[in-house]
Amino acid sequence: MKTARSGTRLPARKAAGTPYFPARPSRADSFTESVIREMTRLALQHNAINLAQGFPDFPCPPELKMAACDALHADINQYAITWGAKDLRDALARRVKQYNGMAYDPETEITVTCGSTEAMMAGLLATIRPGDEVIVPEPFYENYGPDTQISGAVPRYVRLGEDFAIDEEAWKAAFTKKSRAIIINTPNNPTGKVFSRSELSFIADLCIDHNMVAITDEIYEHILYDGKRHVSIAALPGMRDRTITIGSFSKTYSVTGWRVGYALAGREITSRLRKIHDFLTVGAPAPLQHACVTALELPESYYRELARDYDRKRKILYNGLKKAGFSCELPEGAYYIFSDIAGFGMDDVTFARHLVEKAGVAAVPGSSFFHEGGKTKLRFTFSKKDETLLEACRRLSQL
């Protein structure tokens, strides 16, 4: 038996091939893999139409493809500055000022990340201490629960009403002395809710009263319907320096695989966030950052056409779901319909698998958007070609 230099006996070495099992539990034990991505795998397995994962099956603007190719041919293939290429940060500062009415210094207050997913994780790690509580409104995008747990926080869930309105008394009760941050997603995934200025002002007051940070995911900010307007909580009085505003190029420009997002925050929070970002991913893909500058230079007509196209698509899917017997409402924003399936007599997981295997259409079980509950819900995306949606509706009508 070998001994350490101090004379302490070392444990016997395990036989070769013996599996290693951690002696202590891991944070990864407290959550499951992504249900959304699992449904994509099932869709591929059963050759089903994928209305589960929110990525387009149509091309991005040709200008972006050309810009990406130009960047590769120009040998922009090495690291960009860790917190983002300067031309992209400058372009983001201009766009955010124009659209959201917020002024951020591209040198000290804008960080380019590997998608909004990394921006959310970096934002939490930069502001949370182990044991802090993070308010997570539900239904929520499925990443938010695991994100809070990975950061060492305790998620504290507060539910929106049946019409996705805020119950102010319930929300006030959810905030405690341990509350450190709240995650806001508007327009919301999975519900399509667009938080109003009045609702965001209520949340802002709670954040100020409890000295909290708002981490707000606004990646669907340009996908709005029926006259709805996007409001950034960071633009409200007292919120600029206590908010991390997260955006992405994925949804607005149909490039979900590029993984380029960003975080906007005051100088103090940004200095912390950039350190986390540096050691998480170093930086987003350099040639694609170059192409994203071109995206931000598209004319305003692009955004009007984007919303108009998605308005048409939401109505195609909505009409198809209603015809097939689903209970649902038209969303106010984003590109999902959150439907009720109570009338079909199956829970969400069973029915989602039934749809994939028997109807050839993939959706997401509603329970993946709740801490508890959601078993009578399914989420469908309409970020697809019209013909894809029409075929999905035809298949659903055969139920």
CATH class of 32-60+300-396: alpha beta
What's the mean pLDDT in 295-300?
Answer: 97
State the DSSP H helix or E strand holding residue 185, giving kind and residue range, or none if neither. strand 179-185
What DSSP letter does each residue of 223-243 carry, written as one string?
Answer: -B-TT-----GGGSTT-GGGE
Alpha-carbon distance of 219 to 190, in angstroms, equals 13
> In sequence order, which ranges of the chain are alpha helices (DSSP H)?
35-45, 62-73, 86-99, 115-127, 144-150, 168-174, 197-209, 267-280, 286-296, 300-323, 348-354, 386-396
What residue segments make up the domains of the chain, in order of their start? Answer: 32-60+300-396, 62-296
Q: Residue 35 has what pLDDT?
A: 79
Distance CA 35, CA 141 (A): 11
Strand partners, 185: 217
Asked if pLDDT for residue 28 goes beyond 50, the answer is yes
Query: What is the pLDDT averaged over residues 109-138?
Result: 96
Q: Is the pLDDT of residue 260 over 70?
A: yes
Q: How far is CA 364 from CA 34, 38, 327, 380, 397, in A?
A: 10, 9, 15, 7, 18
Find the mean pLDDT for residues 33-60.
89
pTM above 0.85, yes or no: yes
Of the candidates 235, 161, 173, the residue with the CA atom closest to the CA atom of residue 204: 235
Position 8 confidence tier, pLDDT thresholds 50, 70, 90: very low
What number of other Cβ atoms are within 10 A of residue 258's Cβ? 24
Class of 62-296 in CATH: alpha beta
Rounded Cα distance between 201 and 195, Å, is 10
pLDDT at 379 over 60: yes
Instruction: Report whether 31 contacts 145 (CB < 8 A).
Output: yes
Alpha carbon 141 to its chain centroid, in Å, reads 6
First and final C-alpha spacing in the chain? 68
Q: Are 331 and 320 in contact (CB under 8 A)?
A: no
Provide the residue count of the chain: 399
pLDDT digit string, tens, across residues 224-249:
999 999 999 999 999 999 999 999 99
pLDDT band (50, 70, 90) for residue 1: very low
Give the pLDDT of residue 6.
42
The pLDDT assigned to 94 comes to 98
Report pLDDT digits (tens) over 70-95.
999 999 999 999 999 999 999 999 99
Given a contact cutoff of 8 angstroms between Cβ atoms, the answer to whether 244 and 275 are in contact is no
Residue 25 — very low, low, confident or very high, per pLDDT cuts 50/70/90? confident
* CA–CA dist 217, 118 (Å, integer): 12
Give pLDDT, residue 36: 79
18: pLDDT strictly greater than 80: no
- pLDDT for the residue numbered 126: 97
pLDDT tens per residue, range 330-378: 999 999 999 999 999 999 999 999 999 999 999 999 999 999 999 999 9
Q: Which two tokens stand for residue 355?
A: 């749809």
- In this predicted structure, what is the pLDDT of residue 17? 59
Residue 292 has pLDDT above 60, yes or no: yes
pLDDT at 172 > cutoff 60: yes
**What CA–CA distance (Å, rounded) separates 240 from 382?**
33
Phi, then psi, of 49 in degrees rounded to 5: -75, 125
Which residues are within 8 A (CB) of 153 and not within 5 positions of it... i.e. 6 or more apart?
Answer: 124, 128, 130, 131, 132, 133, 134, 180, 181
List Cβ neighbours of 235 (8 Å cut-off, separation of 6 or more): 100, 101, 102
pLDDT at 42 (0 to 100): 85
Average pLDDT of the segment spanning 271-292:
96
Q: Are 369 and 382 in contact (CB under 8 A)?
A: no
